[in-house]
Structure 1
């Protein structure tokens, strides 16, 4: 019985530590029911399908990498909200970023073009990303949050970054 309880406790801790961010969950719950919000949820089944299709590509390194990436993703959620009309302010986005940093998310990259901002944030463990977020604040006053939950290998992301020019 003691062994069973230890296993259950370990599983719960592992699930909690690699699950969705509390800050993201609270933010999403606050804005997902706004009448102007756009919400897209993709479950692991669609990514498993992509991974299975990639297996049929003979000697194609791109397909292998895409297959590995897809098989590691458990879910992807996209929430797009019109700023101001929904009550979302820049301060709310800054607050979300600060809460994510306190949850041990690190900012991997920031892209700025004019008034557009894209923040890539991730919770990492060694050479793996356990959860990746993209926070996109666009010039047309929309904010989009993309939450990718799953295990992503850094080497696969590096491969995609290095070879993305070949994908025309």
Structure 2
């Protein structure tokens, strides 16, 4: 049984990670193109730890990334949502989708629902997105969400040695944008 909410959008179900997600998550983590901007390829052992860390954050923090389920197929197509492990540079809404889900607008659709959740339910006052500068696709998603470049930030352990571009906006800016949508 999953701990945490289930959010629905027009085309997606966002729910906490579950054991049945592991095979799809393993495929996601083993795809070099998908993982090029997400810390690199990971084998099943690291994937298990990653999924358990995200699932455990629901218990410890009261939030974490959601598994993204495509309504039309029932397939796991990625993970996205709130994320703030120890040492993180702020309250993030992040995303990572399987290649089969690229170009469909799922990252924007799912991240919008997650941003509503963290602002309305968790009371976050700022939302950031940490993006490697060469990740043009994620920069476009951040900009579609109304976020803009805020600053450079060193990547924390275990990703030391790189610099992220941090995009973001305040909760009030998100609410104003949502009201005009």
Q: More helix per residue: 1 or 2?
A: 1
Give TM-score, length-normalised by structure 1: 0.27
Which structure ranks higher in relative contact order (CA pairs < 8 Å, sequence separation ≥ 6)? 1
Give TM-score, length-normalised by structure 2: 0.26
Q: More strand per residue: 1 or 2?
A: 1
Q: Which has the larger radius of gyration?
A: 1
